[in-house]
Homo-oligomer: A and B are copies of this chain.
Amino acid sequence: MSELRKHYFLDNYCLIASGRSKRPSAPKACGDEEKVTSCVFCNGHENETPAATAVYKNGEILKDTDNQRVTGWDVRCIPNLYPALSPEAPDVQHPLFEVMKGYGFHEVIIENPLHESKLSNFSDDELFLLMKVYRDRVMHYQSQERIEYVSLFKNLGKNAGASLEHTHTQLIAVPLIPVTIKKEKKAIEELKSCPYCDIIKKEQGKERMVYENENFILIAPYYSRSPYEMWMLPKKHLHHISVFNEQMLMSLGDCIRKAVSLLEKTIPELAYNYMFFQTENDRSYHFNIRIAPVTSIAAGFEKNTDIYINTIPPETAVKHLLEKE
C-alpha cells in the first residue's frame, strides 16, 4: 500500500508506492520486437484486466461485473492493476513526520480497442467520444469524498514512462491540491487579471503560435522548459473540463490531435507526456494542457536549480513543426 509523505519542512509531497515496482515494462508485456500476441488492453482480452468501471459502447455507458465483461467496446476505463493510490488505503503513522494515507483512485482509459491505433489517426467522432470520456471520468472522481484534485495525463513511449504500448490515458485522483496548482493559484490571486488570457493576447497570430481552431489555441510557450513543449489554451476563460460544452470538446480533441500529429512528423521515435491543468472550484484559473515530448534529460543542474536548459528555442521549434505540414 502507498503513503503520501510530506517533505520535512516544505509543502511538497512524495508518493511512496512499493506495490508499483511489480508492474510490467513495455518491451516484455507489449513490445513490437516480439510481435504482440497478448496485450491486456486489446479487444478480446477483457478478462485479463480488473473489471471496468465504465465501458463506452454504441453511445451507452456500461459497467463490467466480476463475472461478466463488456466486449465490443469503444473506450474502456479500468482500475490500474498497480495503483499508485487506492480507495482502501489503510491508515499509516510516522510519529516524527507528516504523512497521509495513500487514499485515492488510479484509472486507465483505454482509448481504442485496436492495438495499432494512434491518437493522430482518430476520426472526429472517436476524438469527440474520448474527450467526453475525459470529462465524465474527471467529474466522476472529482465528486468522490476527500478527493481534491484529479490528475489526467497521457504517457506515450517508454522514455515518457509508459509501461504499455496500447494507446491509453491515465487518471490519478489525489486527496490534496498539488503544489504546482497551489503555486499558480497564489500567483493568479495576486494579479488583477487572468495571466493565461494575457498569454493568448500576446501569442495569438505571432511567431510562437502553432495552430488555432474555433475554441483553442496551440502555442510553443515563450517560457519553454524543453524542446517542442506546447500549451493548449481555450480562447474563452474556462477553468475546468466540466464546463466544456460539446463544441468545446470537439475543438479540444482537434487541438490535441493536431499537436500530436505535428510532433510525430517532426520527432523520430517520439515519446511524450501531456497533462491537464485545471481547478474544480476556482473560476479564476484558466484550463490548459501542456504537452512535452521527451528529447532531453533533466540532469544535475535542473535538479539543483529547477532552471531547465532548452537547446531549441520555441520560435525555432515552431518552424520545425510547421515545415512538415
Q: A14-B224, A299-B273, A300-B154 are in contact. Are A198 and B308 (CB under 8 A)?
A: no
In the complex, how many angstroms separate the beta carbon of A85 from the nearest chain B beta carbon? 10
Question: Are A305 and B149 in contact (CB-based, < 8 A)?
Answer: yes
- List of B residues within 8 angstroms of A128 by Cβ: none
**Cβ 8 A contact of A304, one of B84, B178, B221, B310:** B178
Report the bound CA distance from A19 to B313 in whole Å.
Answer: 10
Secondary structure of the A contact surface, majority rule: mixed
**Residues of A11-55 contacting chain B, CB below 8 A:** 12-21
Stretch at the interface among A57-65, A112-120, A274-282: A274-282
Mark contacts of A277-317 with chain B using CB atoms, 8 A cut-off: 1 yes-contact digit, 0 otherwise.
10000000000001010001111110111111111111010
Is A153 an interface position by the 8 A CB rule? yes
This chain's copy number in the assembly? 2
| Total contacting residues, chain A, CB less than 8 A | 78
Question: Are A21 and B311 in contact (CB-based, < 8 A)?
Answer: yes
Report the bound CA distance from A94 to B198 in whole Å.
Answer: 16
In the complex, how many angstroms separate the beta carbon of A2 from the nearest chain B beta carbon? 8
- List of B residues within 8 angstroms of A160 by Cβ: 297, 299-300
- List of B residues within 8 angstroms of A304 by Cβ: 151-153, 178, 180, 275-277
Is A174 an interface position by the 8 A CB rule? yes
Is A199 an interface position by the 8 A CB rule? yes
Question: Are B170 and A300 in contact (CB-based, < 8 A)?
Answer: yes
**Cβ 8 A contact of A18, one of B16, B172, B199, B311:** B311
Is A6 an interface position by the 8 A CB rule? yes
Is A155 an interface position by the 8 A CB rule? yes
Report the bound CA distance from A86 to B205 in whole Å.
Answer: 33
Is A184 an interface position by the 8 A CB rule? yes
**Residues of A77-99 contacting chain B, CB below 8 A:** 84, 94, 96-97
* Interface-central residue, A96, A224, A274, A311, by most chain B CB under 10 Å: A311
Lowest 8 CB-CB distances: which A-B pairs, in order?
A161-B299, A153-B300, A178-B305, A21-B311, A9-B195, A275-B304, A273-B300, A161-B297
